[in-house]
Structure formats: C-alpha cells, structure tokens
Structure 1
Amino acid sequence: METTSEYSCAYCGEPNFIFVDLSAGGQQSYIEDCQVCCRPNVLYIRVDEETLDVEIDSEYEG
C-alpha cells in the first residue's frame, strides 16, 4: 500500500511530494533527489502503524 507525503528539501527548502510504501515498515530511510534543485536528500521516514500518519525528516547527503 502506498500514500503520498511531503518533505522540504534540505538544500533549497522547496516542498517535494513523494510516494511512501506503507508496507515497508514503520521506519525507513533512503536518498531522494529534490524535484526542484536535483540535489540528493537523505530521507528518514516514520509511519505510525495505527493511524498510518507519515513524518519525514530530510538532511544533506554526504
């Protein structure tokens, strides 16, 4: 099951929308390029398994 969620780019601050795979577990991390400035962001994703609310933190890659 997937849902969309939003994060702010760690470099330019612009909002980005991504698909989050809810079946991949309550804590996920991966690298996603910003849709605006194309720089890589490390995303830390937390999914509340009861409510399916998604929280995303982003930081500089490297």
Structure 2
Amino acid sequence: MYEHFFQCPYCWEEISVLLDPSVSRQTYIEDCEVCCRPIEFQVSFEENELIEFEVRDIEQ
C-alpha cells in the first residue's frame, strides 16, 4: 500500500489515502474523512510508482 497526502477539494484539509499499486489505473469515490463529502479519485501507477493522482469534487 502507498500512502498519499492531498487537500480535500471541499474543506481544504490535508488528508491521506492508502493506494494499491497492484492496480495500474483506478477511478473511485471516497468520502472525505473530515467533511464527509464525496471525492472522485483518478489514480495511475506504472511499475509500482505513482504517475497520476487527481481528485475532484462531485457536484450534487
């Protein structure tokens, strides 16, 4: 597992997420652990190295 820190697109708090490098491309939704709003993650790994990490808010 790979721990990555980022800022929530809603509350701007710095939080961390655990990423699995065994899956090369991932898109998923997870709630912010501070404000509980949904965040969409787009993550890519190449040879177990993080090459793309993008988060965005989900308009509701």
Shorter-chain TM-score: what band? 0.7 to 0.9
The equivalent residue for 1:8 is: 7
Which structure has more helix as a fraction of its residues? 1
Residue 40 (structure 2) pairs with residue 39 (structure 1) = no
Unaligned runs of 5+ in 1: none
Unaligned runs of 5+ in 2: none
- SS of 1:53's partner is strand
State the percentage of identical aligned residues: 34
Matched AA of 1:38: C
The equivalent residue for 2:54 is: 57
- Which segments of structure 1 move beyond 4 Å, counting only runs of 4 or more? none
Report if aligned partners of 1:5, 1:54 keep a CA contact under 8 Å in 2: no
How many residues are matched? 59
Report if aligned partners of 1:30, 1:44 keep a CA contact under 8 Å in 2: yes
TM-score, scaled relative to structure 1: 0.77
* Greater relative contact order (Cα < 8 A, sep 6+): 1
